[in-house]
A and B are shown apart, each in its own frame.
Chain A
Amino acid sequence: MLWLLFFLVTVIHAELCQPDAENAFKVRLSIRRALGDKAYVWDTNEESLFRAMVAFSMRKVPNRETTEISHVLLCNVTQRVSFWFVVTDPSKNHTLPAVEVQSAIRMNRNRINNVFFLNDQTLEFLEIPSTIAPPMDPPVPIWIIIFGVIFCIVIVAITLLVLSGIRQRRRKNKGSSEVDDAEEKCENTITIENGIPCDPLDLKGGHINDVFVTEDERLTPL
């Protein structure tokens, strides 16, 4: 009688946990990719650890605190390593709704990953999207800080240049009001004689007569 019951239970269990069954989830592990040489073998002990973690996650859900490890059923374990699992209710007749399982796993995803030394990409719950950790957002975006620095430097530099220009002009005005302007301004006229410009006497006080410039000064090298 007992073995008939046992047989019935396993049959029911088998029906509850099947690929693509209602409320069933597929899990896929890539242990060798994650750990390389340090990869462990997936055996029944690891399976019971997994079941324990799932049960632990379910116990955190309100109204499901009585979930036991035996309520978590695994099936179709392949060599990949992948398998399907369902979580049944205490009566073991039907499975818990997928939404609850999903939210429970998502809340504890980090702990489940850490137990197996894996991460979201190597321990995949198909159809359970992982809550992606938000990127670190500094309170002030970095670009504003750098923008502020550059802008301040530029404004300060512009102010300095403008002020120095004003000061220069003031000095020049003061200087030129003391000296007679007329002689100094009209030296740029270049008079032309026979098509050849005669450079005027320059500021060096007539020491150099530019009309007779040397060859290499007049003609730039080719």
Chain B
Amino acid sequence: MAQAPSPGPLVDSCEDERPRWDSKFQYLLSCIGFAVGLGNIWRFPYLCQTHGGGAFLIPYFIALVFEGIPLFHIELAIGQRLRRGSIGVWTAICPYLGGVGLGCFTVNLLVSLYYNTVLVWVLWYFLNSFQYPLPWSSCPLDLNRTGLVGECQGSSPVSYFWYRQTLNITADIEDSGTLQWRLVMCSAACWAVLYLCVIRGIETTGKAIYFTALFPYLVLTIFLIRGLTLPGAVEGLMYLFTPDMQILQNPRVWLDAATQIFFSLSLAFGGHIALASYNPPRNNCKKDAVTIALVNSLTSLYASITIFSVMGFKATNDYRQCLDSHHLPTVPPFRYLSTPSSGDRCGAPAGSVGPEPSQQGRLRCAAHGKRALSSVLGHFVQRDCQPKQVTCCSADARGALCAQKPRLTPSTGACSNILSLINEFDFPEQSIPRDDYPAVLMRLNTTQPDRVAQLPLKACCLKDFLDKSASGPGLAFIVFTEAILHMPGAPGWAVLFFGMLFTLGLSSMFGNMEGIITPLLDVGVLPKGVPKEALTGLACLASFLLATCFTLQSGSYWLEIFDNFAASLNLIIFAFLEVVGVIYVYGMRRFCDDIEWMTGRRPSLYWKLSWWAVSPMLLLGILLAYIVLLAQRPPSYKAWSPQHEQFPSREEKLYPGWVRVICMLLSFLPLLWVPAVALAQLLAQHRRRLKDTQPDTSMKPEEGRGC
């Protein structure tokens, strides 16, 4: 192996020692914490539910095996081998590809800004969970104290708390509004907590990760145990996991599986490269890659079981409320259940208190709408709902539909609003048992059809409630918070849930911050005498100041833009360049030699084939699909506008021109680093060649590779 491109001097001769992990377990936990994030909780269950339940696991695991694990292995290997952050690694592999590192660094920075904003929202909810009753359980009173705030009454207390009392959202992205001081305070706290944890690099994150990475598992288990004991959980699980194999014929399912794996493992951020660079050089990164990727996927599965059991409970609860109408809510006479992702108004007027409303709350169960692309947060998947009139309670038609799943609750046959009938016709209380309801209704319908037609009778079908799905912040902040309201001891569960979300996001942010700080340290941005704490502090302070733009009233619209445009496309392109750069430019043979040196074994055919052909092709496929889907329709967003006719459905608006320009800039600017750096390197080489008369003998690591 004399002529083999031997690993050159790995570090400069007189450099300070690179920090090391305290133990292998700490390193694994850090990577797992970085990979396992909010998307595992609120994106994967949604995908499972909408893509045929258990059948979705097939494309998911195929994507994991052929795309996720090989790409992940590459990142860990180059980080561990070259012992640099993302910028240094690429200048070491090939100086012309240095732009890839800079691009990854830029995208990482942009993502950190808005990812932490989600944590700010979570922290706000967490802080508000320490009271009974929970603030999102009831609408606040209006100024007269005669009734409830109109916006809240028209939607739901949970939606109102999210859109008005948290975001204080404007109706249009052009209307920026003012800074929300509550969110600014929470943002300061979030960045302070983050600074506290990353202040000395892995020395401090290594300690913090023990809590932030393990606590979510504890909470998920607690929720799972609690969820399985709640009524309706098992039905929910069975319904939602039942595989529907037909769905595999839809190419969209495969695309979603591939993108989900990609974003779930947090590839192409440079975070894993940074974390692996602190490893001892001889460490089995192959085993690490397989372990971490599998743990990530199993966590997604575990979380979806928990989420489904709680969603099943919520659906059963709503269904029972719809049926019985005996439980009158404490304050609002009408409660509309609407989630931003479903946007429908499956309204359940729980008992008619007060005058008959002008809009009889006929159940408008949602039809289906378009779904947008996946993204880092798995966030803004929109489901439009076209209101579909459901004629009610002709017992046979609806009853038959409801009775198709006999394992559901026994009272599916009789959809009723007994109380409405009793009130309208002044029958004695509790005089219509559930079984007699269809007969009574039919009799009344023949004798006094006009009065019956006026009544807000509903069709209650458990399947409809189970079909309502949500993902992203809609799941966490609206649907799940509503489910928690019905659990006994709601504040405790809310504290646990939002604490879990916070620690999940925080451990992902550790990886992001390491991906920012490690390259800066390696490049030597600050002079030698300045301590690391100062650099971390400056980075956190700068990010906090930049991220205050997301605390504006239109902040969540901007977050959606960043998530869809700054992150998704760029990450896929950079991942593709990573694979191509390492395998084709650096060389498959050299890379395999390095891996053999590190792990003691040469990569097998599976790895070589995946790196050489399968993964790049998959990435190209995803990229093309993304571009096609993006080009199909002009980018639009959903605005929360109380003046909208179909309120509480959100109003679909197109982005104005200047916003679209910003979207384009966000999509393309990080990519410009690649040609820019390549050009700069070309010019520098050219200049050096003209100037140099003597051969360059010093083997600096940056030029040791050659490409």
- In the complex, the answer to whether B200 meets A165 with C-beta atoms within 8 Å is yes
- In the complex, the answer to whether B429 meets A80 with C-beta atoms within 8 Å is yes
B130 at the interface (CB under 8 A from A): yes
- In the complex, the answer to whether A169 meets B428 with C-beta atoms within 8 Å is no
Interface residues on B, range: 35 or more
Distance in angstroms between the alpha carbons of A161 and B196 in the assembled complex: 8
**Which residue of chain A has its CB nearest to the CB of B428?**
A79
- In the complex, the answer to whether A132 meets B141 with C-beta atoms within 8 Å is yes
- B2 partner, pick from A134, A195, A218, beta carbons under 8 A: A195
In the complex with contacts A195-B2, A222-B601, A32-B430 CB distance below 8 A: yes
- A129 partner, pick from B196, B328, B354, beta carbons under 8 A: B354
Q: Can you identify 24 A-B contacts, CB atoms within 8 angstroms?
A: A124-B353, A131-B146, A132-B145, A134-B141, A134-B145, A142-B128, A142-B130, A143-B130, A147-B127, A147-B189, A154-B193, A158-B192, A161-B199, A161-B200, A165-B200, A188-B11, A189-B11, A190-B10, A190-B11, A195-B2, A195-B4, A220-B284, A220-B599, A222-B287
B8 at the interface (CB under 8 A from A): yes
Cβ of A110 to closest chain B Cβ, rounded Å: 14
B195 at the interface (CB under 8 A from A): yes
Across-interface contacts of B128 in A (CB, < 8 A): 142-143
- B1 partner, pick from A78, A169, A188, A194, beta carbons under 8 A: A194
Across-interface contacts of B10 in A (CB, < 8 A): 190, 197
- In the complex, the answer to whether A80 meets B353 with C-beta atoms within 8 Å is no
Across-interface contacts of A135 in B (CB, < 8 A): 133, 138, 140-141
Given contacts A143-B124, A221-B284, 16 further A-B contacts (CB under 8 A): A30-B429, A32-B429, A79-B428, A80-B428, A82-B423, A121-B328, A124-B353, A129-B354, A147-B127, A150-B193, A155-B192, A158-B195, A165-B199, A195-B1, A195-B7, A220-B287
Mark out the residues of chain A between 142 and 159 whose CB falls within 8 Å of any chain B CB in the assembled complex. 142-143, 146-147, 150-151, 154-155, 157-158
- Give the contact stretch, choosing among B12-20, B39-47, B248-256, B360-368: B12-20
Across-interface contacts of A37 in B (CB, < 8 A): none
- In the complex, the answer to whether A80 meets B422 with C-beta atoms within 8 Å is yes
Distance in angstroms between the alpha carbons of A5 and B185 in the assembled complex: 76
Distance in angstroms between the alpha carbons of A31 and B2 in the assembled complex: 97
- In the complex, the answer to whether B423 meets A80 with C-beta atoms within 8 Å is yes
B6 at the interface (CB under 8 A from A): yes
A38 at the interface (CB under 8 A from B): no
Across-interface contacts of A28 in B (CB, < 8 A): 423
B449 at the interface (CB under 8 A from A): no
- In the complex, the answer to whether B600 meets A219 with C-beta atoms within 8 Å is yes
B634 at the interface (CB under 8 A from A): no
B427 at the interface (CB under 8 A from A): yes
In the complex with contacts A189-B13, A190-B9, A192-B8, A131-B599 CB distance below 8 A: no
Cβ of A135 to closest chain B Cβ, rounded Å: 7
- In the complex, the answer to whether B600 meets A33 with C-beta atoms within 8 Å is no
Interface mask (B192-214 → A, CB under 8 Å = 1, otherwise 0):
11011001100010000000000
**Which residue of chain A has its CB nearest to the CB of B125?**
A143
Distance in angstroms between the alpha carbons of A117 and B564 in the assembled complex: 57
B585 at the interface (CB under 8 A from A): no
A2 at the interface (CB under 8 A from B): no
Distance in angstroms between the alpha carbons of A62 and B599 in the assembled complex: 93
Interface residues of A (CB under 8 A from B): 28, 30-33, 78-82, 121, 124, 126-127, 129, 131-132, 134-135, 142-143, 146-147, 150-151, 154-155, 157-158, 161-162, 165-166, 169, 185-186, 188-192, 194-197, 218-222
Distance in angstroms between the alpha carbons of A103 and B353 in the assembled complex: 19
Across-interface contacts of A146 in B (CB, < 8 A): 127, 130
Distance in angstroms between the alpha carbons of A221 and B288 in the assembled complex: 12
Interface residues of B (CB under 8 A from A): 1-2, 4, 6-11, 13-15, 17, 124, 127-128, 130-131, 133, 138, 140-141, 145-148, 185-186, 188-189, 192-193, 195-196, 199-200, 204, 282-284, 287, 326, 328, 331, 351, 353-355, 422-423, 426-430, 531, 533, 599-601
In the complex with contacts A78-B426, A121-B353, A220-B599, A185-B14 CB distance below 8 A: yes
Distance in angstroms between the alpha carbons of A121 and B353 in the assembled complex: 7
Cβ of A184 to closest chain B Cβ, rounded Å: 10
- A79 partner, pick from B13, B131, B427, B599, beta carbons under 8 A: B427
Distance in angstroms between the alpha carbons of A78 and B429 in the assembled complex: 11
- In the complex, the answer to whether B9 meets A192 with C-beta atoms within 8 Å is yes
Distance in angstroms between the alpha carbons of A190 and B9 in the assembled complex: 6
In the complex with contacts A80-B427, A195-B4, A197-B7, A222-B531 CB distance below 8 A: no
Distance in angstroms between the alpha carbons of A150 and B283 in the assembled complex: 39
Distance in angstroms between the alpha carbons of A80 and B282 in the assembled complex: 83
- In the complex, the answer to whether A194 meets B2 with C-beta atoms within 8 Å is yes
Across-interface contacts of A81 in B (CB, < 8 A): 429
Across-interface contacts of B14 in A (CB, < 8 A): 185-186
Cβ of B36 to closest chain A Cβ, rounded Å: 24
- In the complex, the answer to whether B146 meets A161 with C-beta atoms within 8 Å is no
**Which residue of chain A has its CB nearest to the CB of B140?**
A135
- In the complex, the answer to whether B185 meets A147 with C-beta atoms within 8 Å is yes
- A82 partner, pick from B2, B426, B599, beta carbons under 8 A: B426
**Which residue of chain A has its CB nearest to the CB of B356?**
A126
Distance in angstroms between the alpha carbons of A188 and B15 in the assembled complex: 8
Distance in angstroms between the alpha carbons of A124 and B6 in the assembled complex: 88
- In the complex, the answer to whether A154 meets B192 with C-beta atoms within 8 Å is yes
Across-interface contacts of B428 in A (CB, < 8 A): 79-80
- In the complex, the answer to whether B196 meets A220 with C-beta atoms within 8 Å is no
Cβ of A181 to closest chain B Cβ, rounded Å: 10
- In the complex, the answer to whether A218 meets B600 with C-beta atoms within 8 Å is yes
Distance in angstroms between the alpha carbons of A221 and B286 in the assembled complex: 11
Across-interface contacts of A219 in B (CB, < 8 A): 282, 599-600
- In the complex, the answer to whether A169 meets B147 with C-beta atoms within 8 Å is no
Distance in angstroms between the alpha carbons of A146 and B189 in the assembled complex: 11
Across-interface contacts of A197 in B (CB, < 8 A): 7, 10
Across-interface contacts of B354 in A (CB, < 8 A): 124, 126-127, 129
Of A134, A158, A218, most B-chain CB atoms within 10 Å: A158
**Which residue of chain A has its CB nearest to the CB of B529?**
A169
- In the complex, the answer to whether B283 meets A220 with C-beta atoms within 8 Å is yes
Across-interface contacts of A31 in B (CB, < 8 A): 429
Across-interface contacts of A126 in B (CB, < 8 A): 354-355
Of A124, A131, A188, A218, most B-chain CB atoms within 10 Å: A188
- In the complex, the answer to whether A129 meets B146 with C-beta atoms within 8 Å is yes
Smallest CB-CB A-B distances: 4 pairs? A219-B600, A78-B426, A143-B127, A80-B426
Distance in angstroms between the alpha carbons of A121 and B141 in the assembled complex: 17
- In the complex, the answer to whether B533 meets A165 with C-beta atoms within 8 Å is yes
Distance in angstroms between the alpha carbons of A191 and B287 in the assembled complex: 28
- In the complex, the answer to whether A188 meets B17 with C-beta atoms within 8 Å is yes
Distance in angstroms between the alpha carbons of A150 and B193 in the assembled complex: 9
Across-interface contacts of A166 in B (CB, < 8 A): 531
- A192 partner, pick from B6, B188, B195, beta carbons under 8 A: B6
**Which residue of chain B has its CB nearest to the CB of A80?**
B426
Across-interface contacts of B11 in A (CB, < 8 A): 188-190
- In the complex, the answer to whether B284 meets A162 with C-beta atoms within 8 Å is no
Distance in angstroms between the alpha carbons of A192 and B10 in the assembled complex: 10
Across-interface contacts of B533 in A (CB, < 8 A): 161-162, 165
Distance in angstroms between the alpha carbons of A30 and B422 in the assembled complex: 11
Of A81, A135, A155, most B-chain CB atoms within 10 Å: A135
Distance in angstroms between the alpha carbons of A28 and B328 in the assembled complex: 15
Cβ of A22 to closest chain B Cβ, rounded Å: 17
- In the complex, the answer to whether B600 meets A79 with C-beta atoms within 8 Å is no
Distance in angstroms between the alpha carbons of A80 and B424 in the assembled complex: 10
- In the complex, the answer to whether A222 meets B284 with C-beta atoms within 8 Å is yes
Across-interface contacts of B599 in A (CB, < 8 A): 219-220, 222
Cβ of B286 to closest chain A Cβ, rounded Å: 8
Cβ of A46 to closest chain B Cβ, rounded Å: 15
Across-interface contacts of B204 in A (CB, < 8 A): 161
Across-interface contacts of A194 in B (CB, < 8 A): 1-2, 6
Distance in angstroms between the alpha carbons of A76 and B185 in the assembled complex: 60
Distance in angstroms between the alpha carbons of A32 and B283 in the assembled complex: 73
**Which residue of chain A has its CB nearest to the CB of B139?**
A132
Cβ of A129 to closest chain B Cβ, rounded Å: 5
**Which residue of chain B has its CB nearest to the CB of A190?**
B10
In the complex with contacts A129-B147, A154-B192, A158-B199, A188-B426 CB distance below 8 A: no
